Amino acid sequence: MVETTNRHEIEATTSYKKIAALVEQWIENHKGETFDLDTVYRQLQVFNRENRNYITIILSKLVHKNILEKNNKIYRYIDNTCKYIDWVNADSGDVLNIRWPYGIKDNSKFGFDGRAIISSGDVVVVAGTSNMGKTAFCMNLLWENMDTYPCTLMINEYSPGKFNRRAGKMDWKTPQNGDGASKFELIERHHSWKDIIRPDNINIIDWINMGKDFYQIGQTLEGIQSKLNKGVAVISLQKAEGKDLGIGGQFSEHPTSLYLLVDYQRMTIRKAKEWKQWNPNGKIYGFEIIDEGTKFHNIRQIIKCKQCWGSGHTKGGECDKCQGTGYVDADEV
């Protein structure tokens, strides 16, 4: 497609200045893209040898002026714009008092509760194997914060009726205002999550499915984070059993301030970037989920069993110390 003129007008043009103006306008319209000479020729529909030579010279000059970068035959516009951060006058008290899921019936808590510091603009990832508690975590997180912060829950699996049934079992709080309206936004979303992020809300996404593009998870999380202002994003990801990270591996961890791993009746604090009082990084917590998958229960710190070293088996068969789980309660040691 010719964006600024047509082929006949360009082919009739032999003025270097006119060609330069057309090329610079084309580059201005394609910032952020990579391109080669053939792309410029084709989109401006330049076929005349002299005019093509002008374009080559123009691009070369833009490279020398550090307006473009050339790598082999590929050009890239150099973006020198910066977002300066005024850290001197920043509010050091921008910490969110997020209430984390806990044991409703026994008041047991995960060790990062009250320790991990979450600030405005942070991203939290909950990566877990299928059907092991990620949705329970997201729903409990919503229930604990919907009376304090504006909350948005983005889901991709629940029908309205299914969500209604689950909400009805979470009877320790009411999810509706006095007029019957929901206390939170509930949105179905399967892609382009950053486009509907609420900048000042607690945005809970259950869950992000990258499909075959799992390697782009880092860019997806960074895109979501770029839309945050006073709010945060808590994102559920799938994790293969036995893996130490969710889909996309280390790229799913880099943008996060808190990264939690969920396996069968076990949560590991993979990363707490900022913390207070004592370091929760690397701590492991056992838990149960009761009342038809709606409530956490019996949360306690656990460690790898020293008799089987976490395998759950000894030479004699199943480890009798940990009953084959590979873990024992920390206070039993």
Between CA 192 and CA 85 the distance in angstroms is 27
138 vs 235: CA distance, rounded Å: 8
Between residues 81 and 322, which one has the greater pLDDT? 322
Whole-number pLDDT of residue 14: 58
- Mean predicted confidence (pLDDT) in 210-217: 83
Quickly state the pLDDT bin for 2 (edges 50, 70, 90): very low
Of 9-23, 38-52, 317-331, which gets the smallest average pLDDT? 9-23
pLDDT of residue 219: 92
Burial 264-301 (b: 16+ CB within 10 A, else e): ebbbbbbbbeebeeeebbebbbbbebeeeebbbeebbe
Instruction: Inform me whether the pLDDT recorded for 4 exceeds 70.
Output: no
**Per-residue confidence at 322, pLDDT binned at 50, 70, 90?**
very high
Domains of the chain: residue spans and CATH: 7-77 (1.10.10.10), 123-276 (3.40.50.300)
Q: pLDDT at position 300, please?
A: 96
Model confidence at 73: pLDDT above 80: yes
Q: How confident is the model at residue 333 (pLDDT cuts 50, 70, 90)?
A: low
Mean pLDDT score across all residues of the chain: 89
Which span out of 8-12, 177-181, 283-287 was modeled with the highest average pLDDT? 283-287
Cα 25 from Cα 19, distance rounded (Å): 10
Q: What is the pTM of this model?
A: 0.77
User: Percentage of the chain surpassing pLDDT 70?
Assistant: 94
Q: Is the peptide bond before 207 cis (omega within 30 degrees of 0)?
A: yes
- Note whether 266 and 327 are within 8 A (CB): yes
Instruction: Give me the pLDDT at residue 92, please.
Output: 65
pLDDT in the model for residue 17: 85
pLDDT tens string 107-124: 999 999 999 999 999 999
pLDDT at 191: 87
Given a cut of 70, is residue 5 above it in pLDDT? no
Per residue in 134-173, pLDDT tens? Answer: 999 999 999 999 999 999 999 987 778 889 999 999 999 9
Confidence at residue 332, expressed as pLDDT on a 0 to 100 scale: 64
